[in-house]
C-alpha cells in the first residue's frame, strides 16, 4: 500500500519534491513485507526503516504511480497531481450572501454603479488596495426578495469586474441550518440551477466559477455530485475532525477529513471533486486574534501553501443581531497579512 503520497494528493515543489529537468522528483513510500521486490514506475525501491522508498519524476498535471511486487506480480496504483502554480496564493470568499443583492434591487433606480452598495464598495476597496480576487457565494432568496427580482441594468458592470469577482451557488436560503445534510441529488441540482440561472441573467457567464462553498458544507455524496455536475468541481470547507466543531466536510469520512485537515487541498479521484480547506473564518475571531491565528497557520508548511480567507455577509450589517462593527477592519487586516507575507 502507498503510505505517501496517497491517491488524490496534489503536490508541489515547495513541500513535496525537487524540480529537475522539467519534472518534479518526489519520494514515494510503500508499505510491504520485508523481502519484497518493489518497483515504482519501473524504479527499484530500497528498504529503509520498514518502508520501501523510491524517488520518481512527475511530468504532468495528472500522474499515475504504479507499485509492483515483482515476486508475485501484485500491484497498486494511485493518481496524484503536480500543481505548478498553487503555492503562495490566497483568496477571499464570502458566504451567506443575499442582502447586498436585495439592496441593489431596492436601489436599482438610484445607484449608478453596483459599488454604491456599501458592501460591494468595501470589496472593491479590498481589491483596489491589494489586488485581491474575491468570491461571493449567494442564496437564492431571503425575506421579501429573490434573485429573479434583481435588475439586469448592471450586467455590463458585473462583466467588467469579472477579472477579480465571482458569484457561486451557496443554498436556496439561510434557514434551515445544514439544509443539504440529507438532501438527494435532485434537490441540490434544483436549487443550484435556480441560482446559476439568475447569475447568468443579471451578471453574465463571466461571473461563473468552478468553485463553491455549500451552505454549512455538509452533504451526502449525491449532493456533492450534483454540485460537480453543475460545474463546481472544487468544493471548499473546514474539514474539522478529532474535535467538537462542525465538520463542514461534505461527505468525506474520518480518515479523509483527517488527511485534509493537515493539508490545503486534496482530490477525491473516485468522484472527480477537489476539496480546498479554509484557512481562517474571519468573523469567528476578535480583531486582535486574526494575525496571531494566521501566523499559526503560516508555521505549518502544508496548511500555509494556499490561504483561503472567508467571512459571512450578515456580520456587516448593524441590524443583524451579531453585527461586528469592525467587519471592514477585520477583512482588511486578514488580506493585508496575506499581502505582507508574500501571498498573491
122-180 pLDDT, tens digit each: 999 999 999 999 999 999 999 999 999 999 999 999 999 999 999 999 999 999 999 99
Q: What is the pLDDT averaged over residues 246-265?
A: 94
| N-terminal to C-terminal alpha carbon distance within the chain | 37
pTM above 0.85, yes or no: yes
Q: Is the pLDDT of residue 245 over 90?
A: no
Nearest Cα neighbor of 57 from 27, 14, 86, 87 is 27
The whole-chain average pLDDT of the chain stands at: 96
Q: Indicate whether 48 pLDDT > 90.
A: yes
Mean pLDDT, residues 300-325 taken together? 97
The mean pLDDT value for 318-343 works out to 98
Nearest-CA neighbor of 309 among 284, 286, 275, 326? 284
Longest dimension (CA), the chain: 78
Using the structure block, give the residue that is written with the C-alpha cell 498573491.
344
What pLDDT does 204 receive? 98
**pLDDT score, position 96:** 98
Distances (CA, A) of 126 to 7, 49, 283, 332: 37, 50, 16, 7
Over range 246-268, report the average pLDDT. 94
Considering the chain, what percentage of its residues have pLDDT values greater than 70? 100
Name which of 113, 93, 109, 98 is nearest 155 in CA terms.
Answer: 113
Amino acid at each position: 500500500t502507498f503510505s505517501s503520497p496517497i491517491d488524490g494528493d496534489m503536490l508541489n515543489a515547495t513541500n513535496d519534491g525537487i524540480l529537475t529537468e522539467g519534472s518534479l522528483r518526489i519520494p514515494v513510500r510503500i508499505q510491504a513485507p520485508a523481502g519484497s521486490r518493489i518497483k515504482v514506475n519501473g524504479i527499484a525501491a530500497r528498504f529503509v526503516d520498514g518502508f520501501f522508498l523510491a524517488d520518481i519524476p512527475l511530468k504532468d498535471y495528472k500522474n499515475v504511480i504504479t507499485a509492483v511486487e515483482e515476486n508475485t506480480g501484485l500491484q497498486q496504483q494511485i493518481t496524484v497531481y503536480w500543481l505548478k502554480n498553487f503555492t503562495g496564493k490566497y483568496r477571499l470568499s464570502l458566504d451567506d450572501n443575499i442582502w447586498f443583492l436585495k439592496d441593489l434591487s431596492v436601489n436599482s433606480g438610484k445607484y449608478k454603479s453596483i459599488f454604491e452598495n456599501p458592501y460591494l464598495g468595501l470589496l472593491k476597496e479590498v481589491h483596489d488596495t491589494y489586488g485581491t480576487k474575491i468570491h461571493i457565494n449567494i442564496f437564492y432568496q431571503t425575506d421579501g426578495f429573490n434573485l429573479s427580482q434583481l435588475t439586469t441594468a448592471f450586467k455590463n458592470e458585473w462583466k467588467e469586474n469579472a477579472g477579480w469577482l465571482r458569484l457561486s451557488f451557496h443554498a436556496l436560503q439561510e434557514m434551515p441550518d445544514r439544509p443539504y445534510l440529507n438532501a438527494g441529488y435532485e434537490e441540490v441540482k434544483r436549487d443550484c440551477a435556480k441560482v446559476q440561472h439568475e447569475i447568468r441573467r443579471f451578471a453574465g457567464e463571466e461571473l461563473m466559477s468552478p468553485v463553491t462553498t455549500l451552505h454549512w458544507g455538509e452533504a451526502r455524496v449525491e449532493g456533492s455530485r450534483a454540485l460537480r455536475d453543475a460545474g463546481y468541481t472544487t468544493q471548499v470547507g473546514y474539514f474539522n475532525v478529532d474535535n467538537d466543531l462542525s465538520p463542514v466536510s461534505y461527505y468525506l469520512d474520518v480518515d479523509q477529513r483527517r488527511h485534509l485537515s493537515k493539508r490545503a487541498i486534496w482530490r477525491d479521484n473516485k468522484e472527480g471533486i477537489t476539496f480546498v480547506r479554509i484557512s481562517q473564518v474571519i468573523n469567528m475571531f476578535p480583531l486582535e486574534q486574526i494575525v496571531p491565528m494566521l501566523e499559526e497557520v503560516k508555521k505549518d508548511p502544508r496548511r500555509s501553501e494556499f490561504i483561503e480567507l472567508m467571512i459571512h455577509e450578515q456580520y456587516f450589517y448593524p441590524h443583524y443581531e451579531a453585527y461586528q462593527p469592525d467587519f471592514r477592519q477585520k477583512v482588511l487586516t486578514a488580506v493585508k497579512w496575506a499581502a505582507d507575507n508574500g501571498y498573491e
